[in-house]
Amino acid sequence: MKYFLKRAGFMILTLFAACALTFFLMNVIPGGTAELIIKHTFVGLEESVTEEQINQVSSRYNLDDPLYLQFFMWVKEAVLRGDIGTSYVFKKPVLYLLTLRLPATVQLAGASMGLSVVAGVSLGIYSALRENRISDHVLRVITLFGVSMPGFWVALLLILVFSLKLKLVPVSGYGNLENLFLPAAALSLHSAAAIMRVTRTSMLETLGQEYIRFAKAKGLPVWKIMSRHALKNAMLPVITVIGFQMGSLLGGAVVIEKIFAWPGIGSLLVDSISARDLPMVQGCVLAIVTMFLLVHFLVDMLYTHLDPRIRYG
């Protein structure tokens, strides 16, 4: 219990730090906030903005206040009323916009994570068991491709094969299980490959241990050795990698969302940054950091399950 409280405290602190950092960094990058908001909402990217318009928007959103005061007001509203602001561009509450976009992101990230874990772990184990045979080499070459190919290219390739040639799934869109297949596959390829490589190495290391050899000598069947003895010990580094992959999934989602017209928060975040839509950026960062922290919390909990020697407190 004490550990949980401490952990929750750290999470809140991390969230606060992330928000503060985002807020101040957003104000350091070049380009006037008011000017870009106007360009993205009304006048068009290439058109000029008048001094009068800038003043209007600045006073409407209190952009002339000192930075620390702006940030303080934001935190105050967020903590006291749970109101994380209204988007400058969409003119709607950030929370509402997040509830529209978050399900799509969670769906995509969840499905990709599931795919990567299942494919990565099982192929990793298979590869380790078939060490130095043809299938192991083939799989290793494939993973090498997986880690080195850029996501957008994989995405286009997948569309070409599965949509245009095989006519199995639609090219883009959102709302359908079949819509999810390609973006999730494109997004998970990199993670799956990374997880598989770690699983294979870790598995090989474990299989070389004394107690496995003893189990073999005892005459235990392979599946029993694997499930009872090897897997559990081999999984620790794998779990760590899975946790980190979550971050790259959220980052990689930006490109994938654009290609598949997937209405998640990745593309929303990028658009909001270029429009200097500060409350929206803050909201997206808050959501992404929260997800990331939760996954890591889950990972830490799994550690204690896998290795009883690890104890938090």
Partner 1 sequence: MKNKSSPLLILLIILLTCAILVTSGCSSTKESEAKEAISGLEVTSGSEAASQPEGGSEADSEASTLVLGEMWEIDSVDTINGGAGTLICEKAAVTETLVGANEDFSLKPGLATSWEQLDENTWEFRLRDNVVFHDGSRMTAEEVKFTLEKVIEANSKVASMLKVDTIEAVDNYTLKIKTTEINPILPGILHYPDTAIISPSSFDAAGEFVKPVGTGPYKFESFDERTRVLTVVKNENWWGGEVGLDRMVLRGIPDPNTRAMAIENGEVDFTVDVPYSETDRIDAIDGINVEKYRTPRVYKLDINLKHEPLEDVRVRQAMSYAIDRYGIVEHVLYNVGEAAAGPFLPTMVWANQSLSPYTRDLEKADELLTAAGWVDTDGDGIRDRDGKTLKLNLMTYSARPGLPPMAEAMAAQLKEAGIDVETEVMEMGSIDDRREKGNWDLYLAAYNIAMVPDPEYILTNWYITDGPDNGPGYSNPEVDALIKEARQITDLGERYKKFNDVEAIVYEEQPMIIVAYYGCAIVKKDYVKGYVFDPTAHDYRINAEMYLEK
Q: Is 23 in the site for partner 1 (CB under 8 A)?
A: no
Write phi, then psi, for 50 (nearest 5 degrees). Answer: -85, 160
Please report how close the Cβ of residue 106 comes to partner 1 at its closest, in angstroms: 6
Smaller CB distance to partner 1: residue 13 or 160?
160
Question: Phi/psi of residue 86, each to 5°?
Answer: -120, 135
Interaction of residue 37 with partner 1, rule CB under 8 A: no
Q: Closer CB to partner 1, residue 199 or residue 282?
A: 199
Stretch that binds partner 1, among 17-25, 33-41, 65-73, 75-83 (CB under 8 A): 33-41
Is residue 93 within 8 Å of 70, Cβ to Cβ?
no
Q: Which residues contact 183 (CB under 8 A, 6 or more apart)?
A: 108, 112, 155, 256, 257, 259, 260, 262
Q: Does 5 bind partner 1 (CB under 8 A)?
A: no
Total site size for partner 1, rule CB under 8 A:
73
In the set 174, 204, 244, 290, which binds partner 1 (CB under 8 A)?
A: 174
**Does 309 help bind partner 1 (rule: CB under 8 A)?**
no
Among the listed residues 13, 17, 161, 261, the single contact to partner 1 using CB under 8 A: 261
For residue 187, the tally of other CB atoms under 10 A from its CB is 30
Residue with Cβ nearer partner 1 (17 or 261): 261
194 binds partner 1 (CB under 8 A): no
Residues 108-167 that bind partner 1 (CB under 8 A): 110-111, 113-115, 117-118, 121, 156, 159-160, 163-164, 167
Q: Are 191 and 209 in contact (CB under 8 A)?
A: no
- 260 near partner 1, rule: CB under 8 A: yes
Applying the rule CB under 8 A, the residues between 46 and 75 that interact with partner 1 are 46-50, 52-53, 56
- Residues in contact with 174: Cβ distance below 8 Å, sequence separation at least 6, in sequence order: 104, 260, 261, 262, 263
Q: How far apart are the first and last CA of the chain?
A: 9
Contact 87, 279 (CB under 8 A): yes
Considering the complex, what minimum distance in angstroms separates the CB of residue 16 from partner 1?
26
296 near partner 1, judged by CB under 8 A: no
Report which of 238, 248, 260 is spatially closest to residue 306, judged by C-alpha positions. 238
Residue 36 makes contact with partner 1 by CB under 8 A: yes
Q: In the structure encoding, which two tokens stand for residue 214, read together? A: 């003893």
Distance CA 212, CA 235 (A): 15
Asked if 30 is part of the footprint of partner 1 (rule: CB under 8 A), the reply reads: yes
Residue 44: left if φ>0, alpha if ψ -120 to 50, beta else—which one?
A: left
Binding mask 219-238 for partner 1 (x = CB under 8 A): --------xxx-xx--x---
Please name the amino acid found at residue 102.
Answer: L
Nearer CB in complex with partner 1: 78/115: 115
**Closest separation in Å from C-beta 260 to partner 1:** 7
Judged by CB under 8 A, the residue of 42, 72, 145, 211 near partner 1 is 42
Cα–Cα dist 239/248, whole Å? 15
